[in-house]
A and B are shown apart, each in its own frame.
Chain A
Amino acid sequence: MSEELVFRFKVDGDDFTSAGQASVQVKKNLRQLGLSAEVIKRVSVAMYEGEINMVIHAGGGDAEVRVSEDYIEIVLDDKGPGIKNIDLAMQEGYSTASDTIRSLGFGAGMGLPNMRKYTDYMDIQSEIGVGTKIVMRVNC
Chain B
Amino acid sequence: MKINEIQKLLDAKLYCGEDGLSRDVKSVCGSDLMSDVLAYNKDQSMLLTGLVNPQVIRTAVMMDMLCIVFVRSKTPSDEMLELAKDSGIVVMGTDMTMFTACGKLYAGGIVNDFRVK
Contacts and interface: CB of A to CB of B under 8 A. Distances in A.
Contact of A114 (B35, B54, B79, B83): B35
A114 B39 contact: yes
Contacts of B32: 105
Contact of A105 (B39, B55, B87): B55
A24 interface: yes
A65 to B, nearest CB: 14
Interface in B31-57: 32-36, 38-39, 41, 51, 53-56
Interface residues of B, number: 22
A23 interface: yes
Contact of A41 (B39, B62, B87): B62
B55 A52 contact: yes
A110 B83 CA distance: 24
A27 B61 contact: yes
Given A17-B54, A19-B55, A52-B55, A110 B36 contact: yes
Nearest to B51: A105
Interface string B2-34: 000000000000000000000000000000111
Interface stretch (A4-12, A43-51, A83-91, A122-130): A43-51
A111 interface: yes
A14 to B, nearest CB: 15
Interface of B: 32-36, 38-39, 41, 51, 53-56, 58-59, 61-64, 79, 83, 87
10 contacts: A16-B55, A20-B55, A23-B58, A48-B62, A105-B34, A105-B51, A105-B55, A105-B56, A106-B35, A110-B38
Interface of A: 16-21, 23-24, 27, 37, 41-42, 44-45, 48-49, 52, 104-111, 113-114, 117-118
**For the complex of A and B, 3 pairs with smallest distance between CB atoms:** A110-B35, A20-B58, A105-B34
